[in-house]
Structure 1
Amino acid sequence: MLLLDCNPEVDSLQHLLETGASVNAPPDPCEQSPVHMAAGGGRASFLLWQLQTGADLNQQDVFGEAPLHKAAKVGSLECLSLLVASDAQIDLCNKNGQTAEDLAWSCGFPECAKFLTAIKCMQTKKSSAQSNRDQCIPVLGQKRSFGSAESTNGKRKCGCPVGYEEV
């Protein structure tokens, strides 16, 4: 507990919570909200509380960094997991064009970077599968004529659903 008392980010967060600050209010010139501070401090319990109170988990600070970026920079896999499970956007870029995954790699946290890579891969596959489903048109329930190619009114049937005929 002594370590918590020495951490300036935790002191700032504690002060914000005690004064009743809004969960999304930027408290400092860098526009870092309490959720930024919790993620940047690797404080999963504070982060969870912030998320449960409606914190904007994609809010970007003056550097363009979201809480996911902050957690990646400090190597907090627990905070990253909470944010991803809460549907944080993992493809957000900061003002330097870096994603949280990029920051995890550059800050020396390969386990965090690999986690984010795996999540991105799963989201891409899920999105691709959904896109393929949207492009497919179900043919169940369509009636087709197996008789003559000509209908009684002289128009050629195209095998389209009932009510659609070629001219």
Structure 2
Amino acid sequence: MLLFDCNPEVDNLKHLLENGASVNAPPDPCEQSPVHLAAAGGLACFLLWQLQTGADLNQQDVFGEAPLHKAAKVGSLECLSLLIASDAQIDLCNKNGQTAEDLAWLCGFPECAKFLITIKSMQTIKSSEQSNRDHSVPMLRQKRSFGSAESINGKRKCW
């Protein structure tokens, strides 16, 4: 609990939660929800709780940043993992046109950037495979008859 006392994001988050803030309500002038604050503080336990209570993990603040951007800026691989596992939009851009990956590189967190690149690649492959399955032509199979049958004119026909 000593960590909580020295972290300003935690103080803000605790204040919001104590005052009954909605998980998706932007409570401050920057329109940052409790999910933004948890991700910005690298607080995976608070983030998980927020996600379990129905928080919008793609909600953007006044800077166009979603919680994924916040987690990338502070280098929280744990928060990034939680957000990705909860289906956060990985290619969402902020108002400067930057993705979470861009911010991870910019803020000096290459392990977070590489993680996001890997996830993006996996999603692209999965999407491509799904697209190929959806567009493939099903093979038509004919039933084979063994033996013979009579034709219309009464003659037997072998197949």
TM-score of the pair, normalised by structure 1: 0.83
**Secondary structure of the corresponding residue to residue 84 of structure 1:** helix
1:26 corresponding residue in structure 2: 26
The amino acid that maps onto 1:17 is L
Per-residue deviation, 1:140 = 3.8
1:76 corresponding residue in structure 2: 76
**Secondary structure of the corresponding residue to residue 94 of structure 2:** coil
2:63 corresponding residue in structure 1: 63
| Fraction of identical pairs, as percent | 86
2:100 corresponding residue in structure 1: 100
Runs of 4+ in 1 over 6 A off after TM superposition: none
2:149 corresponding residue in structure 1: none
Distance 2:16 2:106 in 1: 31
The amino acid that maps onto 1:68 is L
Distance 1:141 1:40 in 2: 57
The amino acid that maps onto 1:81 is S
2:37 corresponding residue in structure 1: 37
2:6 corresponding residue in structure 1: 6
Distance 2:73 2:25 in 1: 22
Per-residue deviation, 1:8 = 1.6
1:88 aligns to 2:88 (yes or no): yes
Distance 2:66 2:112 in 1: 16
**Secondary structure of the corresponding residue to residue 50 of structure 1:** helix
Per-residue deviation, 1:139 = 1.2
Distance 1:95 1:142 in 2: 57
Task: List per-residue Cα deviations over 1:6-26 (Å, max 9, x = no partner).
Answer: 222111100111111100000
Distance 1:106 1:142, change over 3 A: farther
Distance 1:46 1:125 in 2: 32
The amino acid that maps onto 1:32 is Q
Structure 1 residues 137-148: aligned runs within 5 Å: 137-142=137-142
2:116 corresponding residue in structure 1: 116
**How many corresponding residue pairs?**
145
Distance 1:141 1:107 in 2: 57
CA RMSD of aligned residues (A): 1.5
The amino acid that maps onto 1:138 is P
Distance 1:142 1:46 in 2: 58
The amino acid that maps onto 2:2 is L
The amino acid that maps onto 1:42 is G
Per-residue deviation, 1:107 = 0.4
Structure 1: runs of 5 or more not aligned: 145-167
Distance 2:46 2:94 in 1: 23
